[in-house]
Structure 1
Amino acid sequence: MYQLLSFLLFVLAFLVREVDPSSQECSKVNVNNCNDCITSGAFCTWCKALNFTKPGEPGSARCDTKAKLEERGCKTSDIINPQGYDAAEKNVPLQGGSSPVQLKPQAVRLELRPNQPHTFPLTFKRAEGYPVDLYYLMDLSYSMKDDLNNVKTLGKQILLALKKITSNARIGFGSFVDKTVLPYTNTNPEKLQKPCPVEETQCQAAFGFKHVLSLTNNENMFNTEVSKQYISGNLDPPEGGLDAIMQAAVCEREIGWGNNTRLLVYTTDDGFHMAGDGKLGAILKPNDGECHLIGNQYSKSNELDYPSVGQLAQTLSEKNIQPIFAVTENTKQVYEDLTKMIPKSAVGVLSSDSSNVVTLIQHAYDSLSSTVIVGHNQLPEGVTVTYTSICGDERPTTGSQGRCSNVKINQEITFNVTVTAGNCMGEQSFEIRPLGFTETMVVKISTRCQCECDENPDSHKDYCTNAGNVMCGICSCNAGYVGQKCECKVGQKTERDLTLACRKDNGTICSGLGDCVCGICSCHASEDGRKIYGKYCECDDMNCELNRGKVCGGNGKCDCGKCICNEGFQGSACQCSVSTEGCRNSRGAVCSGRGNCECNVCQCQSGYQLPFCEECPACLSPCPTYAHCIECLGFGTGPFEKNCSDSCKNINHTIKDDLGSAKVCKEKDKDNCWMIFRMTELDGQQQYAAEIRKERECPEPPSIAAIVGGTVAGVALIGFVLLLIWKLITSLKDLKEFRKFEKEKQKSKWSNADNPLFKGATTTVMNPNFSGE
């Protein structure tokens, strides 16, 4: 009852919206004929009655909402208003059994009016005994040794659990480890053959993904094939699970997937590598999403990178495969995050030895199958689709997908599908299907963009001055004729000139708001009182800014797109009363004299800050700029000494003995003295108050005696130092010569008896008187 009531309320709301004239508008932009009209807006209609327009009024005045055309006197029979419709091309009743049908209709044809949403119902009924295919994909890295021993005996239990749900259940098996290159796997030849620890006697050679058993309903075959499997190993903790899931999804023929509910149970105790990780092993080629099983092994494991999560999610969705991640507690959060990116998936926590996997699969299947999600594949360009889900006792919800939870077996639920075509198009199609099921609904779309006026082209020729034919109430003129009723005859050459005369700056003819009749713009007459005017129909009295739903806030007039406010109002939409209360600073000045008060908020000059334009952090300090004024005002000197009052009239100054510790300015005057002062900006433009310290800081004059004395002492000191240096150099030179003399002296060899200067006498004289005594 609640479901029926919700549906009726939804339909009632939709119908009220459809018939409420206040919710319908027609833009009428660039409308020249009936076809332009019905494609310009969802609520645009066309009046085909002759003489409906006033003299000089363009044909676009025939285009408006149905209500407004009727108000202007157009009969309902003269209004062209094509509507979209749907028709079921295939509508097999819902049924269970061996050939269940859960979705109807199976094919729908839509004729859509552009921009006009069209809604039709889609019904889903969860059938009892729907066939199930379950592919068990297991991590065979060494840490899963205990889990493998249990799985070898679980085939019968898993099938029995599935057969409690459906009599048609099949099971298959595959295994994975990781890519057999460094750094994922030890590439030592011995380790590649036996990647397990030494004490492990039964160990498989390293591998990426291996398909072991295609889907079968024989539990003994499952146990037999799985019992032949042994543990393997790798180096790093993350595994190559995404590679394995991708191959299990795309190798449909090898796995044996049927038109059934497809479950993929993925068991592991660790995380997974993803796209980009392959670079660590020098694998740069992206995963191509194709099947590469040769001899039931993934042959491109070491050539293609891991798939990305997005690529994998899209593939699983396309193949209607619902993954169940049976993982250990330590990796639960990783896979819960993964399920947020895969629309229909579930996570369960394995016990340390996988002994609870049967119960886990049952709970996950119940959760997945009781949640019905309806979506679509890629849509044609310009087409949008939304779904309103009517799910039992739940309130209807609308979104980009239909979704109902806790759907019971044999429960019928409805999704209202709303399709909108944004433009005219040829026949297109797309598919809608419930995720996780192979059933689909084919939706074929075509658009209604041509008016069907049912007129004889040769009728009413006199209405078109015998120079054209009536088409949906307006004249289609023969070549060489223009005008509302083909009343202007022009030559081929002058026709272009006439058209150019109606273009402003070579733009749209008559600004798109009028018709060019014999070189003069005939502006559109507006039935709602709007006045369109100007040489090129470029102006109107309504296209101005709105405030509170009124043009110019109701407090002014619209003149060619600009509001002219009444006295006492201001703002771009005359939305504000003239007031300056919010713009006055503590001294009462409006925006401190450095901005304009608009809508009671200051609009400050560049650099000044709100709220009152008092501060300007980016502005330069006034201290250097007005240093000469400080010099003449405070000390009567400087360049402005003679005309100080005129040059510095924007400064009010006071002389103080001390300025305290607050920030002050220091600038030098002409005598190289430091002037100490403080400047504060007053209200207005370049107005300042200056506080000048009475005393300047001037350097003391030099001491003459000290300078002379210091100079004489310096000269004497320099002379004394030079004398010492000369004496030192001379002494060193003498010492060097003396040592040289001593060295030469020691080298001379003198005879002790001979004097080298002595020479013997040449004559000997004897004294005869000498007796020898």
Structure 2
Amino acid sequence: MRCSKKHSTNLTPVDSGNKDMDRCFFLLLLLLMSRNGLCQQKECAKSAVNSCADCVASGPYCAWCQQLNFTKSGEQDAVRCDTEDQLKSKGCKQEEIVSPKNELQTIKEEPLSASFDKQEPVQISPQQIRLKLRPGLSNTFTVKFKRVEGYPVDLYYLMDLSYSMKDDLANVKNLGEKLFEALSNITQKGQIGFGAFVDKAVLPYTNTNKEKLLKPCDEKEQFCQAAFGYRHVLSMTSDQSSFRNEVGKQFISGNLDTPEGCLDAMMQASVCGDKIGWRNSSTRLIVLATDAGFHMAGDGKLAGILEPNDERCHMENNLYSKSSDMDYPSVGQLAMQLEKNNIQPIFAVTENMKTVYEELSNMIPKSEVGVLSSDSSNVVELIRGAYNRLSSKVTVTHDNLPDNVGVSYKPKDCSNPEAPSESKGVCNDVGVNQEISFDITVTAKTCMKEEKSFSVKLLGIKDTLTVTLSTNCECQCTEHNDKNHILCNGKGRINCGTCSCGEGSVGQFCECNVGDKDEQSIRELCRRQNGTECEGRGDCECGRCQCHTMESGSSYYGEFCQCDDEHCEKFQNKQCAGNGVCRCGKCECFKGFEGSACHCKVSEENCQSENNTLCNGRGKCKCGLCECAAGYQLPLCETCLGCPDPCLTKLKCIECLGFNSGPFQKNCSEVCSKSIYHKMVDNFFMSGKECRQKDSQGCWITFKLKQLVGQDNYEAEIQKQRECPEPPSIATIIGGSLAGVALIGIVLLMILKLLIYLKDLKEFKKFDNERKRAKWAQANNPLFQDATTTVANPMFTGE
């Protein structure tokens, strides 16, 4: 995008430049909005529907066209269901489009109070609204809050009276005046109560010896009260002398193990409101002072106590009567009761217990932790600081939220907000009489059969907003009084633009009569792939399937009634895990969930590889796990089993990239440059697989390959020098060839000579053997005659 700097005649260059910059900024903003989905087009699911009600339930942006003659003959009524823009483009008039909208009605909205007077102050507005929502279509409204000056405060001091707190008790007996003085700086309507706890008076927590039960302290300790679990000492009062007198009567006690029964005491102080004296309109605080940890649910088994805590009040004569019969409450139980009764705990603990109680505070909304000095002398200042932090932190949340309803919160007019959340909205550092607000977005995910309610409340404050919620899933169509409308061939009435045929008539426009002669060919139109007629879920009427209604009240749908929205995959016995909507047998997950049953939160944490990529670019992250491409191994698709050796598969590219030779020489950049990043080196520097291969010219190439992110993405280091064989000598080759030919000829002659010799030798041996075996007859040849002439040499003397 290029921004012009043409100057108008009536603008200075600076003004013109500013305008151009504004224009560029505006265009850039639009681009970012479109990329973030803010400008995305609304869509409607294209699943087949049978009626306007089916269309409305298909999605928040689905609308129905009730215009007569909108569909063509034989065309499915599903074409009437689409987005408003699409229906208009198809020719449907705006006044003929049916699309239920969200409705918000404010029932009660009293103005916020400026200060506390005789009447109960109003700190949240509005107080009651009614919402009628289209499923999937969110509705946002604003809730205002003002922290009232002088709001009453009820402070219940709950103290650990185990032996290690002896010095602390002595100081607390003298704290009454300072506590009331601190409250008076906050409000003129402050009250203080007092309670004490140790632990269950059973083994192994307390020595059950009769004498030790009466005096569990050290023998030298003169003033020691009997073992007890929790005792309510003083109900809420504004009388300093009453506090001083009742607390002054308290003495230390003791037990065996280090953890105490803190949770037992806090539970009873929360649920026994009438005995503690909590006022209806007040900020309720419990200050828990201790130097030890706490027992929680399950620890009671050590004493054979198996009955779980029932979260009820069991106070008799100001003592917790079920201490030895009922297990400790869980942290979750205690947190729920504190929130239900608008009580905010302040944990005043010693330095060694700070970490333990900070962990506990993280699980209990609207709670604070402060560190006591060794003798609790700083407890007043600790309470003052904790109260200021609690009262300046405004947390809005909800309870009794109906199923398939989502709520999210976004702080407004807040100088120190926390990130928006689906469970709560938080604004910090809110001053007295400062008005802030929250945008609350409510979404109904499915149609609701009946009206339901839930409360939006501020933690630690009694005021609430009641939201009455229902869904708008019905089509308000134009009524046609003509029972025999001409569009329906005089055999039916119009309902939302479609025909409802009378008895004996069927078809989109009631054009067929039941029992037509060509019924068989008509019924074939209702069979998908020559299967069962309308999948056995509907009746074939005039070549169109009229789907049945299920026992639940919803209908099958689709051209062949092949779809329903009640038989999708389940997880933990919930269809689509409660995190999606069933559409034609498949789950369509809500934002933030995925999986075939929407059973997984969208999370890429376990799919992140060391190079900050998902599954090393060789797979997809689903349900928090990698689904690797063929051959690559879990968990992060790093290695591949059964994959071809890259030394061989990348050899041709290495040859063309490094030495400009080989089969890919002509199109090397197109084939290889995108998959291999290479550099020529004398020595290797990177880690990777070392390869040594022969190229097309018979040379040895040495190189290293390192697979990068993705399946076909490598980094290569190629040694600059190839090891190629020396070229052959022509003279040597010719001389060698001639010598070779001669040598071969001589060898062949010698072999031939040897073969002839061996054959002759064999024949001679055969002749000789036959000769030796021969027997000759001694007879004269009658044809032979001896010589008859004798010739003598006269010169021969005979010597």
Per the TM superposition, whether the score is higher than 0.5 is yes
Distance in 2 between the 1:291 and 1:142 partners? 27
Determine if the alignment matches structure 1 residue 315 to structure 2 residue 337.
yes
Distance in 2 between the 1:389 and 1:444 partners? 22
Determine if the alignment matches structure 1 residue 88 to structure 2 residue 113.
no
Give 1:603 shift.
5.2
Q: Residues 364, 608 of structure 1: CA spacing in aligned structure 2 closer, same or farther, 3 A cutoff?
A: closer
Determine if the alignment matches structure 1 residue 63 to structure 2 residue 81.
yes
Distance in 1 between the 2:37 and 2:484 partners? 35
Determine if the alignment matches structure 1 residue 221 to structure 2 residue 242.
yes
Distance in 2 between the 1:470 and 1:57 partners? 17
Q: Which moved more, 1:222-231 or 1:155-164?
A: 155-164
Match of 1:405 among 409, 428, 446: 428
What is the DSSP-based 3-state SS (H/G/I as helix, E as strand, rest coil) of the residue aligned with 2:420?
strand
8 Å CA contact retained: 1:502, 1:519:
no
Q: Residues 20, 79 of structure 1: CA spacing in aligned structure 2 closer, same or farther, 3 A cutoff?
A: farther
Match of 1:157 among 178, 181, 191: 178
Which amino acid in structure 2 is aligned with residue 317 of structure 1? E
Give 1:384 shift.
1.2
Distance in 2 between the 1:388 and 1:327 partners? 34
**Structure 2 match to 1:256:** 277
Match of 1:340 among 342, 362, 367: 362
Give the alignment's Cα RMSD to 1 decimal.
3.5
Match of 2:641 among 587, 596, 609: 609
8 Å CA contact retained: 1:390, 1:396:
no
Which amino acid in structure 2 is aligned with residue 114 of structure 1? P
Listed one character per residue, the Cα deviations across residues 680-731 of structure 1 (whole Å, up to 9, x for unaligned) are xxxxxxxxxxxxxxxxxxxxxxxxxxxxxxxxxxxxxxxxxxxxxxxxxxxx
Distance in 2 between the 1:320 and 1:535 partners? 56
8 Å CA contact retained: 1:510, 1:516:
no
For normalisation by structure 1, the TM-score amounts to 0.64
Give 1:51 shift.
1.0
What is the DSSP-based 3-state SS (H/G/I as helix, E as strand, rest coil) of the residue aligned with 1:246?
helix
Distance in 2 between the 1:444 and 1:231 partners? 52
Give 1:482 shift.
2.4
Q: Structure 2 regions of 5+ residues with no counterpart? A: 1-29, 547-557, 564-627, 634-638, 648-799
8 Å CA contact retained: 1:328, 1:352:
yes
8 Å CA contact retained: 1:203, 1:230:
yes
Give 1:505 shift.
8.8
8 Å CA contact retained: 1:39, 1:115:
no
8 Å CA contact retained: 1:34, 1:472:
yes
Determine if the alignment matches structure 1 residue 290 to structure 2 residue 309.
no
Q: Residues 414, 234 of structure 1: CA spacing in aligned structure 2 closer, same or farther, 3 A cutoff?
A: same
Determine if the alignment matches structure 1 residue 22 to structure 2 residue 22.
no
**Structure 1 match to 2:748:** none
Distance in 1 between the 2:521 and 2:471 partners? 35
8 Å CA contact retained: 2:534, 2:561:
no
What is the DSSP-based 3-state SS (H/G/I as helix, E as strand, rest coil) of the residue aligned with 1:23?
coil
Determine if the alignment matches structure 1 residue 502 to structure 2 residue 555.
no
Determine if the alignment matches structure 1 residue 172 to structure 2 residue 193.
yes
Distance in 1 between the 2:527 and 2:428 partners? 62
Give 1:519 shift.
3.6
**Structure 2 match to 1:436:** 460
Give 1:18 shift.
14
Distance in 2 between the 1:388 and 1:492 partners? 63
Q: Residues 467, 604 of structure 1: CA spacing in aligned structure 2 closer, same or farther, 3 A cutoff?
A: same
Distance in 1 between the 2:488 and 2:393 partners? 64
For normalisation by structure 2, the TM-score amounts to 0.62
Distance in 2 between the 1:435 and 1:488 partners? 65
Distance in 2 between the 1:453 and 1:535 partners? 24
- The correspondence of residues 442-481 of structure 1 with structure 2, limited to 5 A, is 442-458=466-482, 461-481=485-505
**Structure 1 match to 2:223:** 202
Which amino acid in structure 1 is aligned with residue 368 of structure 2? A
Q: Residues 233, 477 of structure 1: CA spacing in aligned structure 2 closer, same or farther, 3 A cutoff?
A: same
8 Å CA contact retained: 1:510, 1:537:
yes
8 Å CA contact retained: 2:523, 2:533:
no
8 Å CA contact retained: 1:324, 1:361:
yes
**Structure 1 match to 2:58:** 40
The number of residue pairs the alignment matches comes to: 531
Q: Residues 507, 181 of structure 1: CA spacing in aligned structure 2 closer, same or farther, 3 A cutoff?
A: farther
**Structure 1 match to 2:324:** 302
- The correspondence of residues 494-573 of structure 1 with structure 2, limited to 5 A, is 498=523, 501-502=526-527, 509=534, 518-519=542-543
Which amino acid in structure 2 is aligned with residue 54 of structure 1? K
8 Å CA contact retained: 1:602, 1:612:
no
8 Å CA contact retained: 1:431, 1:442:
yes
Listed one character per residue, the Cα deviations across residues 8-67 of structure 1 (whole Å, up to 9, x for unaligned) are xxxx99x99999773311114342111221122111111111111122211111111111
Distance in 1 between the 2:68 and 2:39 partners? 25
Distance in 2 between the 1:312 and 1:496 partners? 71
Distance in 2 between the 1:49 and 1:453 partners? 10
8 Å CA contact retained: 2:524, 2:530:
no
Distance in 2 between the 1:360 and 1:612 partners? 70
What is the DSSP-based 3-state SS (H/G/I as helix, E as strand, rest coil) of the residue aligned with 1:164?
helix
Match of 2:94 among 68, 72, 76: 76
Q: Residues 480, 102 of structure 1: CA spacing in aligned structure 2 closer, same or farther, 3 A cutoff?
A: same
**Structure 2 match to 1:662:** none
Q: Residues 463, 396 of structure 1: CA spacing in aligned structure 2 closer, same or farther, 3 A cutoff?
A: farther
Distance in 2 between the 1:90 and 1:416 partners? 18
Determine if the alignment matches structure 1 residue 117 to structure 2 residue 138.
yes
Q: Residues 114, 169 of structure 1: CA spacing in aligned structure 2 closer, same or farther, 3 A cutoff?
A: same
What is the DSSP-based 3-state SS (H/G/I as helix, E as strand, rest coil) of the residue aligned with 1:234?
coil
Determine if the alignment matches structure 1 residue 247 to structure 2 residue 279.
no
8 Å CA contact retained: 1:47, 1:80:
yes
Distance in 2 between the 1:535 and 1:344 partners? 56
Which amino acid in structure 2 is aligned with residue 49 of structure 1? Q
8 Å CA contact retained: 2:272, 2:313:
yes
**Structure 1 match to 2:573:** none
Match of 2:395 among 355, 373, 379: 373
Which amino acid in structure 2 is aligned with residue 187 of structure 1? T
Give 1:490 shift.
2.1
Listed one character per residue, the Cα deviations across residues 708-756 of structure 1 (whole Å, up to 9, x for unaligned) are xxxxxxxxxxxxxxxxxxxxxxxxxxxxxxxxxxxxxxxxxxxxxxxxx
Which amino acid in structure 1 is aligned with residue 71 of structure 2? T
Which amino acid in structure 2 is aligned with residue 477 of structure 1? C
What is the DSSP-based 3-state SS (H/G/I as helix, E as strand, rest coil) of the residue aligned with 2:234?
strand
Q: Residues 202, 535 of structure 1: CA spacing in aligned structure 2 closer, same or farther, 3 A cutoff?
A: closer
Give 1:423 shift.
2.0
8 Å CA contact retained: 2:494, 2:500:
yes
Q: Residues 602, 119 of structure 1: CA spacing in aligned structure 2 closer, same or farther, 3 A cutoff?
A: closer
8 Å CA contact retained: 1:53, 1:59:
yes
Distance in 2 between the 1:486 and 1:295 partners? 81
8 Å CA contact retained: 1:499, 1:509:
no
8 Å CA contact retained: 2:343, 2:460:
yes
Give 1:479 shift.
3.5
Which amino acid in structure 2 is aligned with residue 182 of structure 1? L
Give 1:509 shift.
4.0
Distance in 1 between the 2:541 and 2:516 partners? 15
Q: Residues 140, 18 of structure 1: CA spacing in aligned structure 2 closer, same or farther, 3 A cutoff?
A: same
8 Å CA contact retained: 1:125, 1:412:
yes
Q: Residues 322, 508 of structure 1: CA spacing in aligned structure 2 closer, same or farther, 3 A cutoff?
A: farther
Q: Residues 373, 610 of structure 1: CA spacing in aligned structure 2 closer, same or farther, 3 A cutoff?
A: farther
Which amino acid in structure 1 is aligned with residue 446 of structure 2? N
**Structure 2 match to 1:651:** none
Determine if the alignment matches structure 1 residue 482 to structure 2 residue 499.
no
What is the DSSP-based 3-state SS (H/G/I as helix, E as strand, rest coil) of the residue aligned with 2:186?
coil
Which amino acid in structure 1 is aligned with residue 109 of structure 2? N
Distance in 2 between the 1:492 and 1:91 partners? 64
Give 1:506 shift.
7.0
Listed one character per residue, the Cα deviations across residues 512-565 of structure 1 (whole Å, up to 9, x for unaligned) are 9x996524679xxxxxxxxxxx996999xxxxxxxxxxxxxxxxxxxxxxxxxx
What is the DSSP-based 3-state SS (H/G/I as helix, E as strand, rest coil) of the residue aligned with 2:247?
helix
Which amino acid in structure 1 is aligned with residue 206 of structure 2? T
**Structure 1 match to 2:404:** 382
Which amino acid in structure 2 is aligned with residue 411 of structure 1? Q
Distance in 1 between the 2:515 and 2:456 partners? 56
Which amino acid in structure 2 is aligned with residue 97 of structure 1? F
Distance in 2 between the 1:250 and 1:475 partners? 61
What is the DSSP-based 3-state SS (H/G/I as helix, E as strand, rest coil) of the residue aligned with 1:192?
helix
